Amino acid sequence: MCHRSSKPSAMDLPPSCKAAADRMEHALREEDLASYKAAQLTASAADTLSDAEQQLSRELGRDIVLVAYESR
């Protein structure tokens, strides 16, 4: 059973709750991926996406990768 502390946080979930959350996330991703395909981007749009990746990477100090999908 999941119990909330006074300040709920996904990082503080008991293992049983974390496993359930992971299973739900996986199921939602599979459902979402069935509805979408990789987006066909123009060169300009791909450049914009790349610029956003670089800006986020600098701001966060981590390697960030953005992916574009479109409805099937």
Q: Which amino acid is at 14?
A: P
Low-confidence ranges of the chain (pLDDT < 70): 1-13, 33
Bridge partner residues of 37 (DSSP): 70
What pLDDT score does 11 carry?
52
* pLDDT number for residue 43: 93
pLDDT of 34-51, one tens digit each?
787 888 999 999 999 999
The Cα 31–Cα 22 span in angstroms is 14
